A and B are shown apart, each in its own frame.
Chain A
Amino acid sequence: MTMYALIVDYQPGVCETPMTEWDPADIKAHMNYYDALNKELMASGELVTGYALTEPSESTIVTSDGTNPPVLTDGPFAEYKELLAGFQIVDVESRERAIEIAAKVSAVPAPGGVPIQQPITVRQVMGSMTGTDV
């Protein structure tokens, strides 16, 4: 088994409308799709963990030289669209399986049931044991 991070950022996919302007039924369908997928991955024993992060506007950037008090700023940020929105860690048999799960995440429904097609980055987690002891 190998662990992969499936990373979501703020690239909108095919839907530019913010969720607060969606039809409430579309929000429900979107959320239920995620819930069902997470339950499925939990049942298959593949979901390690998953987190959504709070808004980038609420974050703080900390820099320190190790001696002086840390410097705290709330910007400048990288391009908003490229910021981390959330991630799941899955523990799967193969890279193909991780890609298959990422495809499901990307196809989460937008208004009208259209798959949103948000790009999901699949990256292997370091420290996973891939070989066997010799």
Chain B
Amino acid sequence: MSDRPGIEDLLRTLAPQVLGVVMRRVGDFSVAEDAVQEALFAATTHWPKDGVPANPRGWLIQTAVRRTTDQFRSEQARRRREETAAALDVPPVDVPARDDTLLLLFMCAHPSLTPASAIALTLRAVGGLTTAEIANAFLVPEATMAQRISRAKSRIKSSGIPFQMPDPAELPERLRSVLHVLYLIFNEGYASSIGSELQRTELSAEAIRLTRAVHALLSDHGEVAGLLALMLLTDARRPARTGPDGDLVPLDEQDRTLWDGRLIAEGVQLINDTIGKGAIGQYQLQAAIAALHDRAVRAADTDWPQILALYSLLERMSGNPMIALNTAVAEAMVHGPAAGLSLVDGLEDRLAGHYRLDAVRAHLYEMAGDTDAAIKHYRAAAARTASTPEQRYLTTKAARLHAAKRS
């Protein structure tokens, strides 16, 4: 008997390696990917009962390759063979070990795929998750997710996206796509954009695992290290981010003793070792900001002037109005709410109708002591957000100010 979580970890680690080998042997990504999924499924069924084979990687490769040849035979014969194949331990094959994680990530996160497709395909082909698990994480029916994955695979086929390292000239841009997909997976897990669960931790954990794998292969790349540090430093706060009823707890009200000190130490070390060594990038800056928050023992100890400087730099680099909104908050923390509000006014056109514009305004009016304006904007933000926990938080903020006004 072997323990199930241990087996799952092993399978997730082996999945991209096995897919790389099968892919080379079969030459068709879609066929290879389906076959590897079947082999992984066979392993989850048999290994807990029969024990992990001596060469698990060889077992998976052999099983997957067998599945691809089976596709050309009759359905009945295939079923019979599967039963016998499953019953016997497959002899190990001798294939040199190599890690194709990076090649597969470049393929699955190709810019010609939509982000939704790239995310789904990355989780399945590189992460080794089943379609059902991915569908569950994104709250869509399994058939819908299966279709999304299958369309992504045909897109790869029709665009002739090669299974190889990009040209050196293309590499920075392609790596940016890979990191962006990993960032989106993490974010979807950390700050779910849909549904009632505030955090879907399995997605964050998977994003961290994959980013660790990329970091292991490209350890001197600043933005890879920056992204990993950002994820660790953000994930460290997860235990304090929800209250007992699943309510959202904002950063300044979190019980900081619940933060994961081990993740913070690792993230801080990583960003300190990275920043200033090479070209500075957006993930490194975000990680540096997260590190400043994480290192403040109390909210009042936060180094806001430093955070403001980093956000201003990040804003210039990214041109992203959401970052500019964060700059406005930092500005308010350093120079007072009026200064922050005047920055927010400048974002009106670019963020019109977005709930965060109202949420930040509400927060800054509350800081300024203008209760009526704060209530008005908390209400507007609550009406606009599509996240149930955010809506609950914003509604409660408005109600709390309303109650305080009455008493």
Which residues of A come within 8 Å of B, CB atoms? 19-24, 27-28, 31-32, 35, 52, 54-55, 57-58
Taken together as a complex, chains A and B put the C-alpha atoms of A72 and B386 apart, in Å, by 21
B242 at interface, CB cutoff 8 A:
no
The answer on a CB contact under 8 Å between B395 and A19 is yes
The answer on a CB contact under 8 Å between B399 and A27 is yes
B375 at interface, CB cutoff 8 A:
yes
Could you name 9 residue pairs across A and B whose Cβ atoms are closer than 8 Å? Answer: A19-B395, A20-B375, A20-B379, A21-B402, A24-B396, A27-B392, A28-B245, A55-B384, A58-B384
B residues near A28, Cβ cutoff 8 Å: 245, 247, 396
Chain B at the A interface: SS class: helix
Taken together as a complex, chains A and B put the C-alpha atoms of A35 and B389 apart, in Å, by 12
B360 at interface, CB cutoff 8 A:
no
A54 and B403 in contact, given A28-B245, A35-B245 (Cβ under 8 angstroms): no
Chain B nearest Cβ from A79, distance in angstroms: 18
Closest residue of chain A to B246 (Cβ to Cβ) is A35
Which of B245, B382, B383, B403 has a CB less than 8 Å from the CB of A24? B403
A57 and B399 in contact, given A35-B245, A52-B388 (Cβ under 8 angstroms): no
Closest residue of chain A to B389 (Cβ to Cβ) is A31
Contact with A along B372-383 (1 / 0, CB 8 A): 000100110011
Taken together as a complex, chains A and B put the C-alpha atoms of A31 and B247 apart, in Å, by 10
> Count of chain B residues with Cβ under 8 Å from any Cβ of A?
21
Q: Which of B233-282 contact A (CB under 8 A)?
A: 245-247
Q: Which 3 A-B pairs have the closest CB atoms?
A: A20-B398, A55-B383, A21-B402
Which of A27, A31, A57 has a CB less than 8 Å from the CB of B383? A57
A20 and B403 in contact, given A27-B396, A35-B245, A35-B246 (Cβ under 8 angstroms): no
A23 and B384 in contact, given A31-B245, A31-B392, A35-B245 (Cβ under 8 angstroms): no
The answer on a CB contact under 8 Å between A19 and B399 is yes
B residues near A27, Cβ cutoff 8 Å: 392, 395-396, 399
B24 at interface, CB cutoff 8 A:
no
Known A-B contacts: A21-B399, A22-B399, A27-B396. Give 16 more (CB < 8 A).
A20-B378, A20-B395, A20-B398, A20-B402, A23-B399, A23-B403, A24-B399, A24-B403, A27-B395, A31-B245, A35-B245, A54-B383, A54-B384, A55-B383, A55-B384, A58-B353
